[in-house]
Structure 1
């Protein structure tokens, strides 16, 4: 990963309270996992920035190194890596994700 790619990812993660790196867009997710991640965030009524990794090969590879997580989608809240769609689903079902996102909205 280049320093430029890392800096671009870092800027997006740190300048947005909630960021989802995904395949496709919220209106047209390009994989089932990204679709599920969008459904969870939309159900929780959260505002978030999405980044389509399919539009930028550098970001697509760089985000995996940035988080040390091999798959996409990836959710960041408050500049911290939360996880992929499976972790999001577990946290959603336990209520932990709603609590985390409410805390971020209050902080933001």
Structure 2
């Protein structure tokens, strides 16, 4: 299975997926750490995280998959939401909470 197929499967089979550097317990970059904090602040318990540092194919492939150059990347119900800055803006405006309330 090629990388794009694998990414598609991960995104399709999990309601909330965060492609990040490190893990939810041990984020390996500030942006990934902030993304996890924002999700927790929204009351999201079930987060599937993918550590891109463990898989170079996914690390490069996710950027092509979303056409977005940076990591972390958040997907909710199969839809690409954005990176940590967008997540933060959406959180501050209340949009992100609404998204999870609807999901």
CA distance, structure 2, for counterparts of residue 48 and residue 35 of structure 1: 13
Partner of 1:9: 7
Q: CA deviation at 1:48?
A: 1.2
Q: How does 1:7-86 map to 2 (within 5 A)?
A: 7-46=5-44, 47-86=46-85
- SS of corresponding position for 2:75: strand
Partner of 1:99: 98
- SS of corresponding position for 2:25: coil
CA distance, structure 1, for counterparts of residue 97 and residue 49 of structure 2: 18
Q: Which runs of 4+ in 1 moved over 4 A?
A: none
Q: CA deviation at 1:101?
A: 1.1
For normalisation by structure 2, the TM-score amounts to 0.97
Aligned residues: 102
- SS of corresponding position for 1:58: helix
- SS of corresponding position for 1:27: coil
Point out where structure 2 has 5 or more consecutive residues left out of the alignment: none
Moved more, 42-51 or 80-89: 42-51
